[in-house]
Amino acid sequence: MSTDIIYMARALELAQQAAEAGEVPVGAVIVKNGEVIGEGYNQPIARADPTAHAEIMALRNASSFVNNYRLTGCDLYVTIEPCTMCVGAMVHARIKRIIFGAVETRAGALQSQLQLMDGDHYNHSIDWQGGVLADQCGAIMRGFFREKRK
């Protein structure tokens, strides 16, 4: 099993925690040199904080762990394609690579709506890959919203 799948599976576990808390089920994991240094899941409702996306929570957690706002050499795994805010935060943190599961057709900022890493207008570029455990990542989102509509 590839390491990308292992870390995305952990992000899916975190997404499930978000769902159980009534939050949109997104989970994120940050890895440096094969070690998980940060995790997070969506918490904007519980924290009354519109920035409390899974990626931001993981960035905060990892930054505290290394005692630095720069997370150079780190990979960030997230179950859904990140939004503009989260990609911007990852640029500022100097994340090396973003790996996401399912596309976010309405607000995705890497592939679906915006291609923020395709230009050269930022002072840092992030490699990215989508589609890791995409079916499972998409299924947890679809299931969550199907239950909400009942």
Task: In whole angstroms, give the CA distance from residue 89 to residue 56.
Answer: 7
**Is the distance from CB of 128 to CB of 97 less than 8 angstroms?**
yes
DSSP 8-state symbol, 51: T
How deeply is 128 buried, as exposed, middle or buried, from its count of CB atoms within 10 A (0-12, 13-18, 19+)? buried
Q: Are 40 and 61 in contact (CB under 8 A)?
A: yes
From the candidates 55, 81, 104, 147, give the one annotated as an active-site residue.
Answer: 55
**55: annotated active-site residue:** yes
Catalytic residues: 55
